[in-house]
Amino acid sequence: MENASKALLMAAGVLMGMMILSLAVYLFTNFGGTSSQIHENIETNQINQFNSQFTSYVGKENVTIHDIVSMANLATQNNQSYEFAKRSTGEVTGNDLYIQVLLDGTPIEYGAGWTSDRIKENYNDLISDDISLITEANDTLKTYDVQVEISDVTRRVFRVICTEK
């Protein structure tokens, strides 16, 4: 009789251990899924916040050269932070993090290897060219239509297309 009670106590101990182990595995997988979901939400929010710097100009009526230069500056900062060289062709795809800004079909963003003084000079030239078109008859800056392309791979803006209205 004494052996039977010890056997029952051992079986109860093993059963309790299995229940505790099962509970631990369940909690581990449940919390692991929750943290990955939180990480994914944070990443999505960061991407949306980044994209909104460019998409906020889409559909606006009064986008001027100043706004376009601002977008080009953001793209240049992004390209330099990832140490991408300037791409002078239209061969930009959404498979990497390079951002291209096209003004009437011409890339105006820069990348690694360009000095900030040279970039400022080029952007000031763009602004000066638009300002020089202001006459007594036309006292407003040209306005532009802005479209963005978002990558299916990175979910980030990879091309901004600005065309004169």
The tens digit of pLDDT for each residue in 142-157 reads 999 999 999 999 999 9
C-alpha to C-alpha distance for 105 and 18, rounded to whole angstroms: 67
Indicate if 62 and 1 belong to the same structural domain.
no
For 161, the token pair is 């297309």
pLDDT digit string, tens, across residues 77-89: 999 999 998 887 6
pLDDT at 58: 95
pLDDT at 88: 72
pLDDT at 90: 63
Indicate if 49 and 62 belong to the same structural domain.
no
The total domain count for the chain is 2
* 112 DSSP 8-state letter: B
pLDDT at 100: 94
Indicate if 9 and 30 belong to the same structural domain.
yes
Contact 141, 130 (CB under 8 A): yes
Indicate if 122 and 94 belong to the same structural domain.
yes
Out of 25, 40, 55, a domain closes at 55
Residue ranges of the chain whose pLDDT lies below 50: none
Domain coverage including residue 141: 58-164
Question: What's the whole-model pTM score?
Answer: 0.75
Indicate if 89 and 62 belong to the same structural domain.
yes
